[in-house]
A and B are shown apart, each in its own frame.
Chain A
Amino acid sequence: MNSGVKYFFLRMGSNTEKQYVKKTGTLFSGLLVKTNYFESAPGMLSGMFLKFSSLKPSRGYIIDPITYVFSLEPEFIRSWQKVDVDKAEKRLRDDLRLGTREKIPRSWIRKIKYPSKRQKNKIEIYNIMKAFRKLADLYFSDNIASVIGKRALAKEDFKDQTLISFVKNVISYQETAITSRYDTSRYSDFKDIIPSPLMILSPYFLINDEDDLKFMVKIWNLFDSQYDKGNGAIVLQCTINFLEDNLQLLLDSLSTIRKNNLFLWIDQFDEEIASSTQLEAYVKFVTQASSSGKQVINLYAGGLSPLLFPFGLAGIVNNVGYGLQRGAEPVKGGIPTAHFYIPTLHIREQVLATYDLLIRNNIGSTKEEFYRDVCSCPVCKEGIKNGVKDFVPFYGVLDFPKSRPDSTKKYPTPEALKRCTFHFLFSRLKEYSWAMNATREEVIHRLTTEINIWRIKKDHLQRLKNIFKKMPSRI
């Protein structure tokens, strides 16, 4: 990675996001996918990475090893799966590595509530998800792999030797995830042009306390010694409380690590509702880590993060969807709701809540005012022809979902979701391209302008502006 260059990676999380990645993917610095998703669609994703690399050789892909999931309660990596009745027990024993004497709890097997004709001889088992089973076997030694899905991994599970092999396996997985798919005689002539990942990430677990940090420092040091190429990146995943309370300790610990690329994930950190001291801890961390030579990339960047570029942030990763923060514990998805990203507030809100904000702030009553004070992306220009009165009929279209025939609730139509998502991606790209060359003064000026547009709901902008005014620029 070049110092001074800013990065904007797009995280693709599901097949439904393919349509957005296909259309906008090459505008980003690269694509990022999580290993569990890669394992569920390796062919499609390998093809997509190859295509992007051929279109823009400087852009690349990153595979996030998401090792932290194995330290969460097993419910996050298990799901109800339909199997033939006679195979249920064997599947559970095989996949969860249960011994013949181990009893299978009754609660792990249940009847299908409304079975279709084809499901007549099937039953549901509470099994480990296929991708996580495969990853566990690839990452861990046998004794650790055998507990995955039954309990959360703890630091104590790792002995020195098992930790070394774990780090090695995680590196090797990322290095060979794509190349191994083309490792046959059929592709022998193309072997040299198969792209390698843009960066190789260290394994990581959530840091809650000093013991967790010590464990992660051990992993980072092993990563340093096991992977000596320049594109290695360590991953720091911690809570905002830990960051705030142990800022210097964290910076000191990181200064002992040779790798300069650092992916930062602050657990459940919502930049809009964060207190001044929390927001300041984040900005200070970025400023000071970058002063000591680290290139900090926010793995789950919030709406305000691009504004940290002049203060040392080297890059951001954004979902195709519009989640602007994420906790370590996964949230199970339902039918998606439409959210509108408000670029001049750097937050996302549901459609009616956004409309309410616009009216209460007396913003966007004409199309000219809307384009000036809210957004002028191609999607908004297509649908907002008469100012705010077009907002709900354009972004808030609802209908009964085809996938839930018994639903009495309407959900956003695919068109409405598409509009919201493209609007979000365009807005973020615009923010990113503006901020990558902005100075400290320009960012403060932008915040002042945005604060002046809004009468209510702007406290987070003011908080950030106050912090920026105290900070020196890194450019």
Chain B
Amino acid sequence: MGYVKDKPKLSERKIVKAVSALLEKKGYNVRKEEVQFCERFIDILCWKNKSRSDIVAVEAKVKAPTKAFEQASRYRYIADYVYVAILRDSCNKKSIELSTSTGIGLIFVRRDSLDRYYATIEIKPKKSIYKDNGLVKYVLGDNYNIKLKRTS
């Protein structure tokens, strides 16, 4: 029996990296750190620099789409568009069902032949009707200058 190298485990970090690249390509200014929203951390939060109106929030998960959509649904209070980014091949059907029923967008992350991860938008999200600008200001600050690091 020969030696079989373990398939490297995909971490959430790789999904975040692939999705960030996709959104940057689409002209979004992507925060480099997770953004805290009460007890939750939003994996990716970004917006277009000019308008600052189209806030996009992404919940990244390797699997467990039900949990991902449940968490992502809470981001609709501060974001215009919310996505769940998930590895393709893990519960594709369930993810598509949840995306269609909730209006939360779906991003699939795949691996190419060179072992690089790349993301594609599978289902576009509906614009959030729950976004509360007061809450956006409270969480992100006046000019979205979120205090992510300790200043002193």
A389 contact set on B, CB distance < 8 A: 132, 134-135
Min CB distance, B31 to chain A, in Å? 14
Pairwise interchain contact A353-B135, C-beta atoms closer than 8 A: no
Pairwise interchain contact A352-B39, C-beta atoms closer than 8 A: yes
Q: Does B52 contact A (CB under 8 A)?
A: no
Contact with B along A196-215 (1 / 0, CB 8 A): 00000000000000000000
Task: Give CA–CA (A90, B130) in the complex, Å.
Answer: 63
Q: Which residue of B lies closest to A406 (CB)?
A: B150
Task: Choose from A353, A393, A405, A407 the contact partner of B39 (Cβ within 8 Å).
Answer: A353
Min CB distance, A370 to chain B, in Å? 15
Pairwise interchain contact A410-B36, C-beta atoms closer than 8 A: yes
B39 contact set on A, CB distance < 8 A: 337-338, 350-353
Pairwise interchain contact B40-A352, C-beta atoms closer than 8 A: yes
A471 contact set on B, CB distance < 8 A: none
Task: Give CA–CA (A233, B73) in the complex, Å.
Answer: 49
Q: Which residue of B lies closest to A350 (CB)?
A: B39
Q: Which residue of B lies closest to A395 (CB)?
A: B38
Contact with A along B122-152 (1 / 0, CB 8 A): 0000000010101100110000000011100
> Is chain A's binding surface mostly helix, strand, loop or mixed?
mixed
Given contacts A359-B130, A389-B135, contact A396 B38 (CB under 8 A): yes
Min CB distance, B50 to chain A, in Å? 27
Q: Which residue of A lies closest to B134 (CB)?
A: A389
B40 contact set on A, CB distance < 8 A: 352
A400 contact set on B, CB distance < 8 A: 150
Given contacts A350-B38, A352-B40, A352-B74, contact A393 B150 (CB under 8 A): no
CB contacts under 8 Å to A, within B6-48, are: 36-40
Given contacts A389-B134, A389-B135, contact A356 B73 (CB under 8 A): yes
Q: Does A8 contact B (CB under 8 A)?
A: no
Task: Choose from A352, A359, A407 the contact partner of B38 (Cβ within 8 Å).
Answer: A352
CB contacts under 8 Å to B, within A331-375, are: 337-338, 350-353, 355-356, 359
Q: Does B118 contact A (CB under 8 A)?
A: no
Pairwise interchain contact A359-B77, C-beta atoms closer than 8 A: yes
A393 contact set on B, CB distance < 8 A: 134-135, 138
Task: Choose from B37, B130, B134 the contact partner of A352 (Cβ within 8 Å).
Answer: B37
Q: Does A398 contact B (CB under 8 A)?
A: yes
Q: Does A409 contact B (CB under 8 A)?
A: yes
Q: Which residue of A lies closest to B41 (CB)?
A: A409
Task: Give CA–CA (A392, B132) in the complex, Å.
Answer: 11
Task: Give CA–CA (A350, B37) in the complex, Å.
Answer: 12
28 contacts between A and B (CB under 8 A): A337-B39, A338-B39, A350-B38, A350-B39, A351-B38, A351-B39, A352-B39, A352-B40, A352-B74, A355-B38, A355-B74, A355-B77, A359-B77, A389-B134, A389-B135, A392-B38, A392-B138, A392-B139, A393-B134, A393-B135, A393-B138, A396-B38, A398-B36, A400-B150, A405-B150, A407-B150, A408-B149, A410-B36
Knowing that A389-B132, A408-B148 touch, tell me 5 more A-B residue pairs with CB under 8 angstroms: A352-B37, A392-B138, A405-B150, A409-B36, A410-B36
- Which residues on B are within 8 Å of A, measured CB to CB? 36-40, 73-74, 77, 130, 132, 134-135, 138-139, 148-150
